[in-house]
Structure 1
Amino acid sequence: MMSINKYRLRHLEKENHKGAKRVSSLLQRPDRLIGVILIGNNLVNIAAATVAAIITERYFGDVWGPLVNTIALTFVILIFAEVTPKTLAALHPEKVAFPSSVILKGLLKLMFPFVIGLNWITNGILKLFGISNQDIEEHSLSKEELKTVVNESSALLPSNHQNMLTSILDLDHVTVEDIMIPRNEINAIDINDDWKDIAKHLTNAQHTRVLLYRDQIDDAVGFIHSRDALRLLTKEQFDKPSLLRAVREIYYIPEGTSLNTQLLKFQQSKERIGLVVDEYGDIQGLVTLEDILEDVVGDFTTTQTRAASEEVDVQSDGSVLVDGTANIREINKEMEWELPTEGPKTLSGLIVEYLEDIPQKPLGMRIAGYPIEIIEIKENMIKQVKVFPEKRK
């Protein structure tokens, strides 16, 4: 009764399994269940001891009878009444609990007055210690515990399904900065460029929506849908004013927004793309609905960002060359590393935070136990590093 999986029990109860319903009703008052079991258990044990005492006294006398009785009865009770049946019940709780519940239900009705009396005494003693029979501890699973359950279900769930479930559980802990396209990588068009360059860019655009801005990306005008751009390109009079009239309003996302929250906001606002802004209104990056879904189910073929595998190059000596702009979370996921993800989102940012300075020449360090060597620095940015994945403390 106590070893049965309560989540499976609830599932069977919802499917109108009669045995599960009986067990569930008995477990609602564990004090009464334990009371009826122990009343029956002790009645049988005491009766067995009495009968055994009479038999051993008759055959072994007053001197050896009690000794033989104690040794023999202890052996019989331990083997046949305690260890063997309880081990069987612990290994197969459902097979034992469901049929046993029929007997226990009947015994509870038969001995109800005795059970109530026993519970009244025991509950009174427990109240002296500040314990109430209503204080039934609910063993609800935390997210981390649920992730452990998912990871331990390898025999039932394929690895890709496990990854999807754990990714869903992590949505509250992952923010838009973890998956956004950084501002310096956003594919956008300066509306003040030459018109021929703009038309050429629109014609060769690889994405559904293209951002338009004036001079600098912080002065964003809006998104133009490729379908609208193609429709305008087919017209004879296609110029900047007509392009600006077709621009769609920008949807802004505050930095620090969790993926779970942003997914709901995308759903509520019927949006699919947004610009991440900081507290000063400066654009930090771009996030799409596809980016959030990719974080759950894996990369799509139409992703705007580079896959982590394109940013790492495993060397023959076991070291790994990594692009400085690589997202730490993605690298950790692919390489099974444990680099810190609470602060900066890129490997370059992590190194700069660690050094508290922008390095001017190649050097080595150890972060979170991983030996890291800076290979290339360009334009005040760390372009490439070498990581030795053998973690050392």
Structure 2
Amino acid sequence: METIPSSLWLPLVLLLILLAWDWLLVAIQAALLRAPVGDLRALLHHRAARTAALAQVLERRSALALAVRLGLTLGHGAWLLAWLWLLAQWGLIPATRNLIWVVVGWLALALSELLVDVYARRRRPRLAPRLAPWALWVTRLLMPLATWLQRHFPPESERATALSPSMFQRLLDLASGELDPQHQRMLTAISRLQFTLAREIMVPRVDMVALDVHTPLREAVDLLLRTGYSRVPVYDGHIDNILGVLYAKELLKYCHLSHGEQPSLRALLREPYFVPESKRADDLLREMQQRRTHMAIVIDEYGGVAGLVTLEDIVEEIVGEIQDEYDKQPAMECKPLGNGAYRCPARMDLDDVNDQLQTHFERHVADTLGGLIYTRLGRVPKPGDRVIEGEWELIVDEVEGQRILSVTLRPHRKPAEAETDTQEAKHATSG
């Protein structure tokens, strides 16, 4: 049995190391960078063991993408040099006719990358949490070099046209003296639309007003008049089977001209527009304009209805809450209760809470106050349940069924601080 010559061992081992490096980066790219953000956020609730690393990856995806691109470029170059070294030690170079082995090696590398990419995409829910710590390690390893290269050799297109959200905000700050504060807030909100997902602005499933297709026309008219909605989804049997969207003006017009005929609602429906939870708000706005539609049905990862988004919901992200005579719910804001405490709607977005109260609740845990409490408790909350989150104590006020309606937030004092305050109060009283 022939043994491998000692001169081949070093380039062979180097090739295997570089191949493992290449496969790791390809798997990270397929499982973490090409995955919808909504899918990765869903894993935070199902894969608790590695959620910390995965949450950091979500916050640093742009840095990770830059590091992976640099790592693949350097890895491909190093792999080609190691392959040429191996061929030279094998005696197949510099013979010109044997350069075919260079092409064979490169094709083998490309094929292996394709197989790893397909495997990682198919196993994404299982691999993404496991690859997250490796992704953070790659980012820490390559970001210094990537940052230096990007600073000294920026792409021409980026120098000419690219404007990051942070740069956009800095420009707004510089122009703050020239811009009306309201206009400045609107421009900032517009720049944030690209980071806002449909699931963050949708009306959730439990709050949707919808009609069964077999509902009599008179009952449908009564519902629309009672709620004031101009359009509602129509389903057959259950809410996950949406057939279309019913427009109030078309229903009322038909009832006026039908002369007593009672057809099914099905004949009046318009085609529904379905979007995934991970749809970006700016893309959604653009597509709704192109389709000339005012409502989109949001679908979760299992194909069920998660909620709906209207054009008004997206506009409110830009100009703020729009209240009309049909809005029964107050604007999403926290009301002060005194002594640093506030009462907030459980549906309130964590970003809005952070803006109003200067808190630092993290979005990767949940999207709303109610979702944050659900995540921390791990069960259906009851009135009086308490959750400590950073420097704040969250207290469940009202619950309707399984839904939290309102939450009280108050500064959380550690036992040592509370004891110190008590002692100081006693000394002040005795004095």
The TM-score, its normalising length taken from structure 1, stands at 0.58
The answer for the alignment partner of 2:279 in structure 1 is: 257
Going from structure 1 to structure 2, the CA distance change for 1:306 and 1:206 (only over 3 Å counts) comes to closer
Cα shift at 1:334 = 4.0
Q: 1:145 aligns with which of 167, 190, 198?
A: 167
Cα shift at 1:288 = 1.2
Going from structure 1 to structure 2, the CA distance change for 1:390 and 1:265 (only over 3 Å counts) comes to farther
The letter of the residue matching 2:366 is: P
CA contact (8 A) 1:308 1:330 kept: no
CA contact (8 A) 1:174 1:259 kept: yes
CA distance in 2, matches of 1:291, 1:350: 22
CA distance in 1, matches of 2:154, 2:267: 64
Q: 2:243 aligns with which of 200, 218, 221?
A: 221
Map 1:333-348 onto structure 2 (within 5 A).
Answer: 333-348=355-370
CA contact (8 A) 1:326 1:347 kept: yes
Going from structure 1 to structure 2, the CA distance change for 1:176 and 1:388 (only over 3 Å counts) comes to same
CA distance in 2, matches of 1:326, 1:142: 28
The letter of the residue matching 1:384 is: S
1:278 aligns with 2:300: yes
CA RMSD across the alignment: 3.1
CA contact (8 A) 2:376 2:387 kept: no
Cα shift at 1:150 = 1.1
The answer for the alignment partner of 2:312 in structure 1 is: 290
CA contact (8 A) 1:218 1:283 kept: yes
Q: Secondary structure at 1:148's aligned position in 2? A: helix
Cα shift at 1:269 = 2.2
Gaps of 5+ in 2: 1-148, 418-431
Q: 2:193 aligns with which of 163, 171, 186?
A: 171
CA contact (8 A) 1:202 1:229 kept: no
1:157 aligns with 2:163: no
1:192 aligns with 2:214: yes
**Identity level (%):** 25
Going from structure 1 to structure 2, the CA distance change for 1:358 and 1:158 (only over 3 Å counts) comes to same
Q: Secondary structure at 2:364's aligned position in 1? A: coil
CA distance in 2, matches of 1:269, 1:196: 30
Q: 1:237 aligns with which of 240, 251, 260?
A: 260
Cα shift at 1:309 = 3.8
Cα shift at 1:240 = 3.9
The answer for the alignment partner of 2:338 in structure 1 is: 316
The answer for the alignment partner of 2:49 in structure 1 is: none
Map 1:91-106 onto structure 2 (within 5 A).
Answer: none
CA distance in 1, matches of 2:379, 2:401: 14
CA contact (8 A) 1:176 1:256 kept: yes
Cα shift at 1:389 = 5.8
The answer for the alignment partner of 1:79 in structure 2 is: none
CA distance in 2, matches of 1:170, 1:223: 29
1:367 aligns with 2:389: yes
The TM-score, its normalising length taken from structure 2, stands at 0.54
Going from structure 1 to structure 2, the CA distance change for 1:299 and 1:266 (only over 3 Å counts) comes to same
Cα shift at 1:256 = 0.7
Q: Where is the helix percentage greater, Structure 1 or Structure 2? A: 2
CA contact (8 A) 1:320 1:389 kept: no
Q: Which has the larger radius of gyration?
A: 1
The letter of the residue matching 1:290 is: E
CA distance in 2, matches of 1:345, 1:156: 34
CA distance in 2, matches of 1:391, 1:277: 41
The answer for the alignment partner of 1:331 in structure 2 is: 353
Going from structure 1 to structure 2, the CA distance change for 1:229 and 1:391 (only over 3 Å counts) comes to farther
Q: Secondary structure at 2:194's aligned position in 1? A: coil
The letter of the residue matching 2:389 is: I
CA distance in 1, matches of 2:306, 2:331: 24
The answer for the alignment partner of 2:380 in structure 1 is: 358
CA contact (8 A) 2:227 2:326 kept: no
Going from structure 1 to structure 2, the CA distance change for 1:343 and 1:192 (only over 3 Å counts) comes to farther
Q: Please list the CA deviations of residues 14-65 of structure 1 after superposition, one character each: whole Å capped at 9, or x if unmatched.
A: xxxxxxxxxxxxxxxxxxxxxxxxxxxxxxxxxxxxxxxxxxxxxxxxxxxx
**256-265 or 208-217: which moved more?**
208-217
Q: Secondary structure at 1:354's aligned position in 2? A: helix
Cα shift at 1:136 = 8.6
Going from structure 1 to structure 2, the CA distance change for 1:308 and 1:337 (only over 3 Å counts) comes to farther
CA contact (8 A) 1:318 1:388 kept: yes
CA contact (8 A) 1:253 1:276 kept: yes
Gaps of 5+ in 1: 1-130
CA contact (8 A) 1:309 1:334 kept: no
Cα shift at 1:336 = 4.3
Q: 1:201 aligns with which of 223, 228, 244?
A: 223
Aligned length: 260
The letter of the residue matching 2:201 is: I
Map 1:106-117 onto structure 2 (within 5 A).
Answer: none
Using CA pairs under 8 Å that are at least 6 residues apart, name the structure with larger relative contact order, 1 or 2. 2
CA contact (8 A) 2:186 2:318 kept: yes
